[in-house]
Amino acid sequence: MRTWTAANARCSVFTFKQGLLSAVGHDLEIEVGAFEVRWVAGAVDATFDARSLRVRGAIVGGRLDPAVLSARDRAQIDENARGSLGAASHPTIRLRAAPVPDPPPARLVGQLTLHGQTQEITVTLAREASGWAATGTIHQPDFGITPFSAMLGALRVKPEVRVALHLPD
């Protein structure tokens, strides 16, 4: 059995802007500050604390730029993210995936429970120089989540968010 947590691994959620006023918004990287991923006999059992989401910064020119957002902006984004997920009533996000049949890169098919709803999800697992990368896309409406919007919908988050886990050796 192998276990990773936020102390020795990283989990990021990437959101992307859209809409008429998207030029005033930001694509974001949001860090999951509390999680546990267990790998047992090739199967995955992972839990993520929805209350632990914290914005790392805006993505500018394909790179993380933490200086773009003020402390007030960060606090508001954190509150919006946790609110969209219903973190107060659904604090635990869980992924369970069957054993990986192929050597990496491989596709894990599992069950993701998010916002009180469970749906099938596919995660790509690939070998990196220093460990493993697991990535997947979540379509928020599939889990009963309405993507964030502002200014009467002229600025909104795309329904798809990308999740990336980096698990060191």
The CATH architecture assigned to 2-168 reads Beta Barrel (2.40)
d(CA 117, CA 144): 7
Please, what sign has the CA dihedral across residues 152, 12, 69, 114?
Answer: positive
The CA-CA-CA angle for residues 2, 165, 28, to 5°, reads 160
Q: Report the amino acid identity of residue 122.
A: T
Q: What pairing do the DSSP bridges indicate for beta strands 43-49 and 92-97?
A: antiparallel
User: How much is the pTM?
Assistant: 0.92
H/E stretch holding 81 reads: helix 71-84
Q: Could you read off the pLDDT tens digit of each residue along the chain, which spans 169 residues?
A: 999 999 999 999 999 988 776 776 889 999 999 999 999 887 899 999 999 999 999 999 899 998 999 999 999 999 999 999 999 999 999 999 987 766 667 888 999 999 999 999 999 989 899 999 999 999 999 999 998 887 766 778 899 999 999 999 8
Q: What's the pLDDT at 24?
A: 67
Per domain, the residue ranges of the chain are 2-168
Q: What's the pLDDT at 152?
A: 66
Q: What's the pLDDT at 102?
A: 65
Cis peptide before 141 (omega within 30 of 0): no
Q: What's the pLDDT at 151?
A: 76
List residues bridging with 119 in a β-sheet: 112
User: Who's near 92: CB < 8 A, 6+ residues apart?
Assistant: 47, 48, 49, 50, 113
